[in-house]
């Protein structure tokens, strides 16, 4: 059996990929309001700052900054997944125990370059998956907040990155 090791750093910054078990489903975007509810529910219990996010039809990429004195990201992720599963069961009737892959990808951000690389990856992901022609066209991304704050331009397309990001 594989022995999973996680890095727990109080106040750490983490990149996550959460994936549906059936990659053909589009539940995350088709039921975006239920997913938002699940995030609000989880963040009320496990406060943190979501620095970047992209919700794809079958997976989510997010970059999370934990509060200085906490390492509770497994509870945060489990809360998001279980709340969304319950809401799907209640509103759509789908078997809520089989929606998500049992595990998730987690990466502790090491430095500013690593942080920037993951933000780039998150915002470019819909383009990478050929869901849009331009990054700005994907509605389920924090990219639009980065443009509003003047951090990125509306025409930003990012650059293709080498590496493994949990997909």
Which residues form the catalytic set? 140
Nearest CA-CA partner of 35 in 74, 75, 82, 102: 82
- Phi, psi (degrees; rounded to nearest 5) at 13: -110, 130
List, as one string, the DSSP characters of 12-36.
Answer: -EEEEEEEBSSTT--HHHHTHHHHH
Write the secondary structure of 57-99 as one string of H (helix), E (strand) and C (coil).
CCEEEEEEECCCCCCCHHHHHHHHHHHHHHHHHHHCCCCHHHC
**DSSP-based three-state secondary structure for 51:** strand
d(CA 138, CA 125): 10
- Which neighbouring-strand residues pair with 62? 16, 53
């Amino acid at each position: 059996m594989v022995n999973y090791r996680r890095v727990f750093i109080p106040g750490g910054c983490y990149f996550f990929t959460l994936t549906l078990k059936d990659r053909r489903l589009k539940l995350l975007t088709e039921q975006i309001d239920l997913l938002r509810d699940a995030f609000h529910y989880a963040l009320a219990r496990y406060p943190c700052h979501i620095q970047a996010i992209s919700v794809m039809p079958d997976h989510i990429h997010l970059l999370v900054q934990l509060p200085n004195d906490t390492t509770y990201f497994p509870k945060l992720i489990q809360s998001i997944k279980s709340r969304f599963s319950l809401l799907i069961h209640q509103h759509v009737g789908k078997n809520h125990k089989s929606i998500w892959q049992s595990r998730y990808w987690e990466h502790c951000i090491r430095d500013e370059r690593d942080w920037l690389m993951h933000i780039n990856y998150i915002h470019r992901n819909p383009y990478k998956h050929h869901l849009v022609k331009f990054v700005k066209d994907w509605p389920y991304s924090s990219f639009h907040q980065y443009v509003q704050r003047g951090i990125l331009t509306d025409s930003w397309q990012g650059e293709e990155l080498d590496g493994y990001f949990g997909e």
